[in-house]
Structure formats: structure tokens, C-alpha cells
A and B are shown apart, each in its own frame.
Chain A
Amino acid sequence: MTTTTGGTPAEPQPLLEAEDLTVDLLSGTPGAPRSRRVVRGVSFTLHEGETLALIGESGSGKSLSAMALMGLLPATTAEVGGSVRHRGTDLLALHPDALRARRGKHIAMIFQDALSALNPTLTVGFQIAEVIRAHEQVGRREARARAVELMARVRIPDPARRYRDYPHQFSGGMRQRIMIASALALSPDVLIADEPTTALDVTVQAQIMELLAELRESTGSALLLITHDLGLAATAADRVAIMYAGHIVEQAPVEDLYDRPAHPYTEGLLAALPRLEGPPDDLTPIPGTPPAPGPLPPGCSFRPRCPAARDSCATRQPALLPAPPARLVACHYPLEASSAR
């Protein structure tokens, strides 16, 4: 399914490669520990300069997967399994100090709500300069100059003056720019954006995505875009992976996935999207609710909500298998095979 070293010329070594990533949330007391599995074996690859969108509804494990692969989940509350290789090095096996040295420099992250993700007691300029100083031996003055330059690159007007302002003095869009500036301060080759525009209104959202695309063009960063917004993923992503109940159920290049969904869940998501053409009240919700975290019943986790479920779906869990030309799907009866669409 995945190549660990080298690779064929057609498939160069991926930049970031998650394999069988699992996350168990721990609760209870040390005497009587409890753990619930929320990410159940997620595998994906991210290539240089590429954008992969990880789509799922709330609780599907997409944000936890991102936190896990950055090594940001506290060991006291979460247990992470599997492997995450960045240029061949397993991040999860690294010493904490070595992992910290990579965070921010090689892999950086953008959060959903910039107001809560920026420290209210520090000036924005200081917070950008802090990233530079955490990784490079530079003086205060030089870090400051580079931070001002970064603020100019994300188009903060009058950056030298605004360097000394605090996060609450910025508007939502401007704060998001500050966060992007600090994440891209050291031109990381992997950028993880967890719902980067969900807290913004639609016009600002478009500006931020445009700015992000433009900056990534100059830094060459690959983007792992975590979102529940199918529309955003359609415009920004090269490839899309759909998550359901802690699994990736389908992964395909963006046009393939939107034009010809193979997994019934993907089809359900697309049917629930409003479209400009067609009757306006044509939204079809997916019946039922996703399963709770913890042990799942045998078989396919989407079966109780699946319109195409058959008897065998209740006994065997479908594996994520290749469906040529470039698709992976975890379904016993993928839609393309069953009907001509």
C-alpha cells in the first residue's frame, strides 16, 4: 500500500507519510484507566507542494489526527500509535527535543480561531519573532526585522507600528494573517491548517485562502488542510481524503471524488451540499448519527446509515483498497462498481 524507502520514479518518496495512525483518548484514574479509540488506523501520504484535504464531520478524528502527527497530544490524555514519517524519519519515535526542533521549522500548524491561538499577553510581533528565535541563533533586532518583514508579506498595513500591538487589537482576518506569518516564518515544508477559515466570514475566508496559496507558492510548502467544508476543499485541494468514525473511507484526486464518489458516505455528503443548479430544497441529509468513540460493532462503521448496505457489511470491516486509476476506497460495494454513474 505504501512504500517506506526509496520508491519508484513515478512515485517519489513522500514528504509526509502517516501509516496506521491511531489515537486513544485516556480517561479515568491511574488505577482504573479507560481508553476510547477515536482515530482507528489512518494512512495517507503528502507530497512536496501538494494540498491534501482531510474532510470529516465533527468527531471524525481529523483534528486529533493532525495533533497526533505533530506530537502535540499530551501523553497523559492520549496514546498515539502507528507511524508518521517526515522525509523518512519517524516523528513519533523521535526524542521530544528532536521533535520540537522540527516543529515550526519543518512542520507548522495553523489553528481555527486566531483570537484564542495568539497569546493575549504578548504583542503579535513578539510572537512571530519568538518562532524565529526558538529555532535560529539570531539577535532580538534581527528577529524583529524579520517579523516585521513577515507581517508585510501577509499584508498587515504599517507592520512596523503594528508589531507592538496585542492580538485583541486586530480584526479576525488580520489575526489569521498574523498566525499564518508565524507558521510560515521559517518556510516549513509541511503546513497543517486545522479549519483555518471556519471562524471567518466568507469574503475574508477567500482572501486568507488566496494569501495562503500565494505564500505557499514562494515557500513550496505542502498543505494538509483539515476542514468540514467540502466547498473549500474543492477549490483548494489537489487530493481529498474523507474521514468517518476515525477511518479514512475514501481518498481520491479532487475532481474524481466530487464527480464520481465511490463511497456511499461521500455521496451522502455531496447530496447534503446546496447547489446553484437544481431545485433549492434538494438537500438530502444522511440519516442517523455517527458512532460514538470507543469499540465499534463488527463490520463497516457506516453500515447503519448506509443506503446500499447488504448483509456482508455487518460482519466484515472493509479495508481501504485501491480503485484504479487513483482512488482508495473502503467499501465492499463501491458505487462505481454497482452502478454506472
Chain B
Amino acid sequence: MTDTLTAPADTSPDGAAPPVSSAGAGWRTLRRRPAFLLTGAGVLLLLLVAAAPGLFAGWFGHGDPTVCDLTHSARGPSAGHPFGYDVQGCDLYANVVHGARASLGVGFLATAASLAVALVLGCLAGMAGRIVDSVVARLTDVFLGFPFLLGAIVVLNTLPTRDIPTVAAVLALFGWPTMTRVVRASVRSVREADYVVMARSLGAGPWDIVRRHVLPNALTPALVLATITVGGVIVAEASLTFLGVGLQSPSISWGLQLAGAQNSFRTHPHLLVFPGLFLSFTVFVLITFGDTVRDALDPRGR
């Protein structure tokens, strides 16, 4: 019961513990999962395509989406043009590759904006007391009660220009309430945690409490939701564009290509199939990626 006993009795279990942080443990789990490696590679590939479409567009032909020849209008796949031509006679493959930037740009911009708003409002609602909480809760209720499609159509129709940032902003306008609710709930569950009470009992200030103790521990659900949201936002962008209220030409986006195909896809199915395949693949990869990240960060799943 003296100190000679103390050290060995207490250190041996410590020595056996592998020296990794909790984030490191999550990363180690992730690296061993084929689903993560596959979807992670897919996400990287998509980001690369979006960042530098020129690298991929020229693989088969000239690779310029704006060089068009109306005599080739809606012609099917041929040598040098594996996806064929669109109605305007432009190379469809080059167009589909260049469309990744719009979809991913809108997806990531809108999600990042929603997340930023959600973190600020969610922390406020979770930490600042009943009145602020009620105000934020009612505000999210108002936005959640609004039919998304109708709301987006109304707002987008009043905008003079509809490019990537404005469409992303409108999607974020309707995306932040769900995320704010997730952040608020998770902040509220963390703020009563023993380590938060202990930090307060040792004199930590409110800003330090939020920044060092509450937010890092409340972040995981919001981040997981964000990775899944990117896919949902891309679908929403494509839907709105298809309906004619999203991006406008000269933007190049999968939604625009699908919209252009709606009158002729019975006779020229390739116009619908190739942009549709890319869109589905992108959303599938992003959502699966979000799922694997969630599984890895959830300690119960380890």
C-alpha cells in the first residue's frame, strides 16, 4: 500500500495500451476498411476531375466542351467520341467531365455554408440559455416547415443570375436547419458531460468551454451529416437545374445536360444515360464515403 507498490501496479496496464490518440484510433480503423479505401479513392478522383477537368476531357477527342458542330447533333457514340454528341453537336464526354465542377462545387459550397451556420447557431442554442434556444428552434421550424422545392423555386426565380455561388447559397438557405438541429442536440448532450463540469469547476471561461470542451466533442455527428449532405445537395442542384430554375448555360452541369435530354431521350438515350450515370456515381460515392466515416467514428461500431 506504499509507493513502492504504487508504480508497478499502476503502470503495467498503461504500458500495454497502444500509444494512439482517439482520432488516430479512428484513422487506423478507417485504413483497414476496403469500403473506405474504395470510396475515399472515388472522392479523390471526383475532386481531381472537378479541379482539373482538362486532364480527363481530352482522353478520347479534342476535349473542349464548347467546340460544337451542329451536323453531329445528338449522334450516338463513335470513334473519338465515346459518349456521342449532345443536341448542339458538342462532345458529350467532354461536357460530362466538365460538369463535375458545377455539381461538386455546389455540393461542397452549400454544405460548408450550412455547416458554418449550423455550428454557430447550434452552439448558441445549446449553450446560451432558454430564450436564445427557443428563438433558434422556432427559426429552424419555420424553414423546415417550408416545402423545399417550392421555396427553392421561388427564391431562385427572383435572383437575377444563377451561377454556382448563388445556387449554393439558396441550397444552404434550406439546408442549415437540419444541421443546426443536429449540432444543437449534440451540444446539449455534451454540455452536461463530467469533463465540462470539471473544466468549469477549475475556472475555465465560457469561450474556452465552448471551443475546447464542447465543440470538439460535439462535432462528429455534424461532420458525418455533412459528408452525407454533399450528395443530397448535388441531387437537389441537378433537380432544380432540370426544372429550369438552377444553373443556366453557359454553365456546364449534369442537371443542364439532363434537362437538354428530356425531349429526345427516347430516340437518343445516350443523352440521358451518361450524365445520369455520372451523377448517380458521384452521389453514391459521397454518401457511401459518409457512411464509412460515420461507422469509423462511432466507437460502438469498432
In whole angstroms, how far apart are the Cα atoms of A117 and B199 in the complex? Answer: 9
- Whether the Cβ atoms of B217 and A121 lie closer than 8 Å is yes
In whole angstroms, how far apart are the Cα atoms of A100 and B195 in the complex? Answer: 16
Stretch from A127-135, A241-249, A290-298, A329-337 forming part of the interface with B: A127-135
Shortest C-beta distance, A185 to chain B (Å), equals: 8
- Whether the Cβ atoms of B195 and A116 lie closer than 8 Å is yes
Given A76-B129, A119-B217, A120-B22, do A182 and B10 touch, yes or no (CB 8 Å)? no
In whole angstroms, how far apart are the Cα atoms of A254 and B199 in the complex? Answer: 32
- Whether the Cβ atoms of A169 and B17 lie closer than 8 Å is yes
Residues of chain B within 8 A (CB-CB) of A210 are: 1-2
1/0 per residue, CB under 8 A from B, across A151-191: the answer is 00001010000000110111101100001001101000000
Stretch from A5-13, A85-93, A139-147, A201-209 forming part of the interface with B: A201-209
- Whether the Cβ atoms of B7 and A104 lie closer than 8 Å is no
Nearest A residue (CB) for B217: A121
- Whether the Cβ atoms of B1 and A121 lie closer than 8 Å is no
B205 contacts A by Cβ under 8 Å: yes
Given A118-B198, A120-B22, A165-B19, do A171 and B203 touch, yes or no (CB 8 Å)? no
Shortest C-beta distance, B145 to chain A (Å), equals: 22
Q: How large is the interface on B (under 10, 10 to 19, 20 to 34, 35 or more residues)?
A: 35 or more
Nearest A residue (CB) for B131: A30
Residues of chain B within 8 A (CB-CB) of A113 are: 194
26 contacts between A and B (CB under 8 A): A100-B203, A100-B205, A101-B203, A103-B201, A104-B202, A108-B202, A109-B198, A116-B193, A117-B195, A119-B195, A119-B213, A120-B217, A121-B22, A121-B23, A121-B217, A131-B203, A134-B205, A135-B203, A155-B6, A157-B11, A166-B22, A169-B19, A171-B11, A174-B11, A207-B6, A210-B1
Please give the residue numbers on chain A whose beta carbons come within 8 Å of chain B beta carbons, in ascending order: 30, 67, 70, 72, 76, 100-105, 108-109, 111, 113, 116-122, 130-131, 134-135, 155, 157, 165-166, 168-171, 173-174, 179, 182-183, 185, 203-204, 206-207, 210
Please give the residue numbers on chain B whose beta carbons come within 8 Å of chain A beta carbons, in ascending order: 1-3, 5-7, 9-11, 13-14, 17, 19-23, 129-130, 193-195, 197-205, 208, 212-213, 216-217
